[in-house]
Every structure is written in structure tokens, then in C-alpha cells.
Amino acid sequence: MIYIHIPFCKQKCSYCNFHFSTSLQHKDQMVAAMKKEIFLRKDELQNKNLQSLYFGGGTPSILSGDEIKSIIDEVLKYFSFSNDIEITLEANPDDLDKIFLKALSDSPVNRLSIGTQSFFDEDLRLMNRAHNASEAEASIKRAQDFGFENLSIDLMYGSPTSNLEIWKENLHKTIALDIPHISSYALTVEPKTMLSDWILKGKIAGPKEEDQNKEFYYMIDFLKDHGFEHYEVSNFAKPGFYSKHNSAYWKYREYLGIGPSAHSYNGLDTRSWNIANNQQYISKINSHILAKEEEILSENDQFNEMIMIGLRTIWGVDMQILKTKFPEHRIEKLSRQIQSKINDGILTIENNHLKIPEKHWFMADGIASDLFVV
């Protein structure tokens, strides 16, 4: 699978620490450089028949329909698409007008991930989003009118401008709009963000973990009652609408990342990441130099990642894969570590897969970190 990072946004969201630029001055050069990087790295993936192509960011919908199609055409020069390929474009509601949606509907893009975040204006103002609540709802309906049935939306809970009743209304709105996939995250205060600065200066209150916990577990029960499957801590889908792209990440499959700050993984022991600087990225690629760094994952790194990723999913950690991949002494130590957590009901083993029961998923990262090797 291939991930393409579009490093541009109209404005900076208050909570975001991803790599992007609000200047579109070098957009044309960036698109050309990304197409050149696809050529330069065309032999890195073992599997040339793609199951997934994902445009993330940043804000991919800041590109034109022609620019998106030109990137897809470049990919098709060196890779083939499986019959059921999932081609996802992350989009902001304010970009999804009729002209853009018509261009997308005429392209191979067949899945949209819409950055809704909330259907309430007060939440959106706190997040410094470029859209308002009415645009959020209207963009989803327009996308459906243009034939996009495979839709995902992002929702954020635990905001200081929200509460449980508002969160319930967000979820009811989502059901009413007949959206088959939801990615939902607690509002997190990242360093060096506007949100962090506002909280430090006392302009707003910080999010409360207790409130986020209540909203998380309400969401689980509510969405399951409406036919959703909770397949990863932050992801819910109707049957048949799991994200193929994210599921591949969680199953340790190889992927190629194109664009500044994008990460790649060979499916075994090597990870690389592109430089997080637009100008330097363009300059290096234009000189036929890959703008990336690379690391060989240690045995400890590989073990910890398998534990961390697996315990966040419905599939859990395959103990048989661990036994074939890592030394016996490590598996014996893990067996000792998990026993007390199994006795306490924090972990279970089902069909030789180590799992966290769903009622403890809010603490999944902490539970996993207890099992890390250093």
C-alpha cells in the first residue's frame, strides 16, 4: 500500500502538531516532486498490486481534482491496483463543494475521510477549524449525493467546550447521516500547539480525563447498538467498511510513504521517514536524492510495536507469530508478565491471541507499555 502526504492546510488547527504549511506558494513544485519520488522509490514495495492508496495530510482536498488524478496516474505507471482497491482522500468539509466532488467522482477515488471533528460551532471555533457546523453536515450529504457511500468522518471528544450531552448529539447526528465508518479521538494537548499555549495561559480549561473516559464508553455502547463494530480503539465501522489502509498498518504489512514527513516500513525490520521540510524535500527530490532517513528496528523495537499495535485492535497479538519471531526467553518473560493481568481481567487469551477486553480499551496504551522490553 502507498500513503501520500499532502503537506498543506488553509489554516492551523489549535490541536495539530502534524507537518504542514499554510503557504501554497510551492504547491505545484511539491506535486511534481512527489510524482518524482514515486518514480525514484518504485522498486521498494515487494507487492506491486496495491490494496490501498491513501491521501493524508495536511489537507489533501486542498489539491485540485486534476492534481489528485495526476498523482494517481503516476502511481499506476509503476504499480497495479487490485480489483477492490481502496483509494481514500482525507478532506475538509469546506473543500467539498459540487465542483470538487464532481471531479472526485470522475476519478478513481472511492473513499472519503472527512475531517468533521464536531457538529457544534463552539467546538469547531476552539479547534480553529476552517468550517462550521452547517458545512460539516452539508458536505457529507453532498458527498453521498455524488455517489460516495464509503465515507468515514473524524469526531473528537473530551473538548472543554463540550459535555456528555453535546457528545451524545454528535453521535446521534452521525447515525442520522448514515455514515459507515467513524474515527474518534480524545482531544489531546500536544506541546507547541495553540491549544497548549491557551491552556498554559489560563485562557481555557484543559480536557478532563474523567469526562473523556465517560464519553469514550458511551460512544462504544451507542455505536454498537447501531450496528458498528469496534475494531480498533479509535475506529468503528459497519460490517464491510473497515479501513483497509489502517488495518494493514495494524497487521504489520509493508507500506510506502510519499511526501515530506511520510513514513515507510518494509514489513520486517526497516522504517524510514522523509524530511519534514517542504523546501528541502523539493530540492533533494529534484536532485534525484531521496529526502529520507532510515533505521533498522531492534528486536526490542519490533517486539514493543507488535504489542502496542496488536493490543489496540479487535484481533489482538498473535502469540504464535511472537513465538516464531522472538527468542524463547522473551516469550517466557511475557508469559510471566501477563499472568497477573489475566488474573485481574485486564488481559485475556482467546484462540492464542492476547487481547485487552473492550471495557479496558481506554487504558490500552498504558497496559501495552507495561509489557515493553527496554
pLDDT along the chain (374 residues), means of 10: 94 78 88 98 94 95 96 98 97 96 97 96 89 94 97 94 94 97 92 87 87 95 97 97 93 94 93 95 96 94 94 95 93 93 95 95 93 90
H or E element in which residue 301 lies: helix 299-310
d(C-alpha 274, C-alpha 294), whole Å: 9
Q: What is the CATH number of the domain that holds 347?
A: 1.10.10
pLDDT tens digit sequence for 266-275 = 988 999 999 9
Edge to edge, the sheet with strand 263-265 lists 263-265, 270-274, 292-296
d(C-alpha 103, C-alpha 165), whole Å: 38
The answer to the question of residue 256 being in a domain is no
The answer to the question of residue 260 being in a domain is no
Judge whether 354 and 316 are in contact, CB under 8 Å: yes
In this structure, the answer to whether residues 238 and 325 fall within a common structural domain is no
Q: Which whole-number Å values give the CA distances from 65 to 25, 68, 89, 111, 153, in the listed order? A: 18, 5, 11, 14, 20
DSSP category for residue 193: S
Instruction: Give the three-class secondary structure for 201.
Output: coil
Residue that finishes a domain, picked among 190, 216, 250: 250
Confidence (pLDDT) at 21: 77
Residues contacting residue 73 through CB under 8 Å, at least 6 positions apart = none
Residue 83 identity: N
In this structure, the answer to whether residues 174 and 317 fall within a common structural domain is no
d(C-alpha 371, C-alpha 337), whole Å: 7
Judge whether 2 and 50 are in contact, CB under 8 Å: yes
In this structure, the answer to whether residues 329 and 204 fall within a common structural domain is no
The answer to the question of residue 268 being in a domain is no
The answer to the question of residue 257 being in a domain is no
Grid cell for residue 144: 453521498
Task: Assess whether the previous peptide bond of 206 is cis (omega < 30° from 0).
Answer: no
Instruction: Give the three-class secondary structure for 349.
Output: strand
In this structure, the answer to whether residues 140 and 237 fall within a common structural domain is yes
End-to-end alpha-carbon separation of the chain, Å? 31
Domain count, the chain: 2
d(C-alpha 128, C-alpha 130), whole Å: 7
Q: What is the CATH number of the domain that holds 25?
A: 3.20.20.70
- Match 489531546 to its residue by C-alpha cell: 188
Residue 39 has a CB neighbour count (10 Å cut-off) of 12
Residue 102 has a CB neighbour count (10 Å cut-off) of 12
The answer to the question of residue 280 being in a domain is no
Confidence (pLDDT) at 16: 78
In this structure, the answer to whether residues 183 and 327 fall within a common structural domain is no
The answer to the question of residue 266 being in a domain is no
The range of the structural domain enclosing residue 303 comes to 299-369
Nearest to 156 by CA among 182, 193, 133: 182
Residue that finishes a domain, picked among 218, 250, 282: 250
The answer to the question of residue 293 being in a domain is no
The answer to the question of residue 294 being in a domain is no
In this structure, the answer to whether residues 194 and 303 fall within a common structural domain is no
Q: Which whole-number Å values give the CA distances from 221 to 76, 164, 242, 373, in the listed order? A: 42, 14, 18, 34
Note the helical H segments in 106-242. Answer: 121-127, 133-145, 164-176, 194-200, 209-225
